Amino acid sequence: MKHNSWVPSLFFLLLFFFSPQLWSQNREETIQIEWVKPIHVEINPDQIIEVLYFNGAVPSAQFPTLPSCNLTIELDNNYSKLDYRIKNMEMTPLTQEEAALIPDLFRPEELDVKLRTASTRYKDYAVLSFVPIVFQSNTPQKITSIQIEVIPSLPFLKKKYKGGGNSVLATGNWYKIETYQSGIHKVTYDDLVTLGISNAPFASSQIALFGNGGNMLPEANRANQFLELVENAIFVNDGGDGTFGPGDYFLFYGIGMHGWRYSPLSQRFYHQFNIYSEKTYYFITIDPGIGEKKRITSVDYSSLTPNITTNHFTYYDFYEKDKINFTESGKFWVDEPFDAQLTKRYTFQTPTHNGEPARITIAAASNNTQVSSFTITVNGAHFATMPLSRNTNTHAFYDSQTYSINQITSPLRIDLTYNKPYPSAAAYLDYIEIQMGAVLNMYTSQVPFCNVNTIGEGNITRFQIGNSNLATQVWDITNPYEPQKVVGELNNNQFSFNSNTEELKYFIAFNGNQYYTVKNIGRVPNQNLIGSSDVDLIIISHPNFKSEAERLAKFRQENDGLTSVIVTPEQVYNEFSSGKLDPTAIRNYMRAVYLKTNQAYPSYLLLIGRPSYDYRGIIDGTELFIPNYQSEGSFDEGGLAANDDYYALLDENEGEYCEGLLDIGVGRFPVSTVHQTKICVDKSINYSTTTDLTQENPSLISNLGDWRNVITFVGDHGDHHFHMITADDGAKKIAQNYPHFNIDKIYNEASQVVSYAGGQRYPESTKAINSRMNRGSLIFTYAGHGGINGWSKARILELSDITKWKNKYNQPLMINLTCSFGWIDKKAISPSELIFINDQGGAAAMLTTTRAAYMGANYTFCTRMFNNSLTNSSNQPITIGEFNIAAKNSVGGALHGTNMYVLLGDPTMKLVLPQYEIATDSIIIDATHQPTDTIKALDKVIVKGRITDHDGSTLTQFNGTLFPSVYDKKINTVTLLNDPASEDPPFEFELQNNILFKGNVSVINGYFEFNFVVPKDINYAFGPGKISYYARTSQSDAKGYTDQFYIGGFSSNPIIDENGPEIQIFLNDEKFVSGGISNPNPTLIVKLKDENGINTTGNGIGHDIIAIIDQQNDQQIVLNDFYQTEKDSSNSGIIRYPLEGLSVGDHTIKVRAWDIANNVSENSINFSVVSDEKLQLDHVLNYPNPFTTHTSFFFEHNQAGETFEILIQIFTISGKLVKTISDTQYLPGNRSEKLDWNGLDDFGDKIAKGTYIYKLSVKNSKGEKAEKFEKIVIL
Query: Can you give the pLDDT at residue 159?
Result: 61
| Residue 1099, pLDDT above cutoff 80 | no
pLDDT digits (tens, 9 = 90+) for 1016-1040: 989 899 999 999 999 999 889 999 9
Would you say 127 and 152 are in contact if contact means Cβ atoms under 8 Å apart?
A: no
pLDDT above 60 for 46: yes
Each residue's pLDDT tens digit, 255-276:
999 999 999 999 999 999 999 9
CATH 2.60.40.3800 placement within the chain? 27-152
Is pLDDT of 21 > 60?
no
Q: What's the pLDDT at 873? A: 82
Angle between helices 880-889 and 855-865 (to 10 degrees): 120
Give 17's pLDDT tier (boundaries 50, 70, 90).
very low
pLDDT at 699: 45
Mean pLDDT of 1-9: 38
Q: Which residues contact 200 (CB under 8 A, 6 or more apart)?
A: none
pLDDT bucket at 16, cuts 50 / 70 / 90: very low
What's CA 584's distance to the chain center, in Å?
18
Query: What pLDDT, on a 0 to 100 scale, did the predictor assign at position 158?
Result: 59
Domain(s) labelled CATH 2.60.40.650 in the chain stretch across 1062-1169
Mean local confidence (pLDDT), 1155-1181: 91
Q: Is the pLDDT of residue 10 over 70?
A: no
Whole-number Cα distances in Å, 408 to 382, 453, 711, 1170: 14, 19, 70, 83
pLDDT at 14: 37
Q: How confident is the model at residue 874 (pLDDT cuts 50, 70, 90)?
A: confident
Higher pLDDT, residue 638 or 804: 804
What is the tens place of the pLDDT at every residue in 612-635?
A: 999 999 999 999 999 999 998 777
- Whether the pLDDT of residue 1100 is over 70: the answer is no
What local confidence, expressed as pLDDT, does residue 433 receive? 98
Instruction: Please give the class, per CATH, of domain 1177-1274.
Output: mainly beta
Averaged pLDDT for residues 342-347: 98
pLDDT digit string (tens) for 521-558? Answer: 999 999 999 998 889 999 999 999 999 999 999 999 99
- Residue 625 near residue 609 (C-beta atoms within 8 A): yes
Peptide bond into 218 cis (omega under 30): no
pLDDT above 80 (res 800): yes
Angle at 387 between CA 384 and CA 391, to 5 degrees: 160
**Range with lowest mean pLDDT among 685-694, 1106-1115, 1126-1135:** 685-694
Residue 406 has pLDDT above 90, yes or no: yes
Say how many residues make up the chain.
Answer: 1275
Residue 276, classed as helix, strand or coil, is: coil
Q: Summarize the confidence of residues 360-366 as an average pLDDT.
A: 96
Query: Is the predicted pLDDT of residue 92 greater than 70, yes or no?
Result: yes
Contact (Cβ atoms closer than 8 angstroms) between residue 361 and residue 402: yes
Q: Considering only CA atoms, which of 24, 271, 1066, 224 is closest in space to residue 651?
A: 224
- For the whole model, what pTM was predicted? 0.88
Q: What whole-number distance in Å separates Cα of residue 209 and Cα of residue 286?
A: 9
| Least confident piece of the model among 2-6, 286-290, 449-453 | 2-6
Second-level CATH architecture of 528-658: 3-Layer(aba) Sandwich (3.40)
CA distance 328 to 825: 9
Q: What are phi and psi of 42, to 5 degrees?
A: -90, 110
At the topology level, CATH places domain 1062-1169 in Immunoglobulin-like (2.60.40)
What is the structure's pLDDT at 163?
67
What pLDDT is recorded for position 1234?
92
Confidence band for 121, pLDDT divided at 50, 70 and 90: confident
Let me know if 109 is exposed, middle or buried by CB neighbors in 10 A (0-12, 13-18, 19+).
exposed
d(CA 365, CA 277): 24
Query: Which run of H or E residues covers position 834?
Result: helix 831-836
Question: Of the spans 448-452, 688-692, 1092-1096, 1231-1235, which averages the highest pLDDT?
Answer: 448-452
Calculate the average pLDDT of the chain.
91
Helical spans, DSSP H, in 95-204: 96-99, 189-195
pLDDT confidence of 82, banded at 50, 70, 90?
A: confident
DSSP 586: H
pLDDT of residue 695: 47
Asked if residue 157 has pLDDT above 70, the reply is no
Least confident span in 163-167, 817-821, 1138-1142, 1271-1275: 163-167
CATH topology of domain 27-152: Immunoglobulin-like (2.60.40)
With a cut of 60, say whether residue 715 has pLDDT above it.
yes
Residue 19 above 60 pLDDT? no
501 band by pLDDT with thresholds 50, 70 and 90 = very high
User: 1234-1269 pLDDT, tens per residue?
Assistant: 999 999 999 999 999 999 999 999 999 888 999 999
Mean pLDDT across 657-683: 96
Nearest by Cα to 773 from 714, 716, 718, 819: 714
In whole angstroms, what is the distance from residue 554 CA to residue 533 CA?
18
CA distances to 244, 286, 691 from 241, in Å: 8, 17, 72
User: CATH 2.60.120.260 in the chain, residues?
Assistant: 312-439
CATH topology of domain 916-972+1004-1045: Immunoglobulin-like (2.60.40)
Task: Please report the pLDDT score of residue 226 as a whole number.
Answer: 84
Confidence of residue 696 (pLDDT cuts 50, 70, 90): very low
CA–CA separation, 551 and 563 (whole Å): 13
pLDDT tens digits along 937-988: 999 999 999 999 999 999 999 999 999 999 999 999 999 988 888 888 999 9
Helix axes of 569-576 and 583-596: crossing angle, nearest 10 degrees? 70
Which regions of the chain carry the CATH code 3.40.50.10390? 528-658
Q: How many CA atoms lie within 13 A of 383 on its CB side?
A: 24
Reported confidence tier of residue 3, pLDDT bands at 50, 70, 90: very low
CB distance 405 to 435 below 8 Å: no
- Residue 513 pLDDT > 70: yes
Name the helix (H) or strand (E) containing 674.
Answer: helix 674-688
Residues of the chain with CATH 2.60.40.4070: 1177-1274
What pLDDT score was predicted for residue 37?
87
CATH number of 312-439: 2.60.120.260
Q: Which CATH class is domain 700-904?
A: alpha beta
Report CA-CA distances (Å) from 819 to 783, 791, 792, 835, 1078: 10, 9, 10, 16, 41
Longest dimension (CA), the chain: 129
- Spatial separation of the C-alpha atoms in residues 680 and 687, rounded to whole Å: 11
| Torsion 163-168-170-171 (CA) sign | positive
DSSP E strands, 224-355: 231-232, 235-237, 243-244, 249-254, 259-263, 268-272, 280-285, 297-299, 308-310, 312-319, 337-338, 343-348
Residue 869: per-residue pLDDT: 85
Q: Kindly state the average pLDDT of the residues 1180-1203.
A: 92
pLDDT of the residue at 156: 59
pLDDT per position as a tens digit, 373-384: 999 999 999 999
Torsion 884-890-894-897 (CA) sign:
negative
Residues with Cβ within 8 Å of 957's Cβ and at least 6 positions away in sequence, in order, are 1005, 1006
| Angle, helix 722-737 to helix 855-865, in steps of 10 degrees | 10
Predicted pLDDT of residue 1140:
86
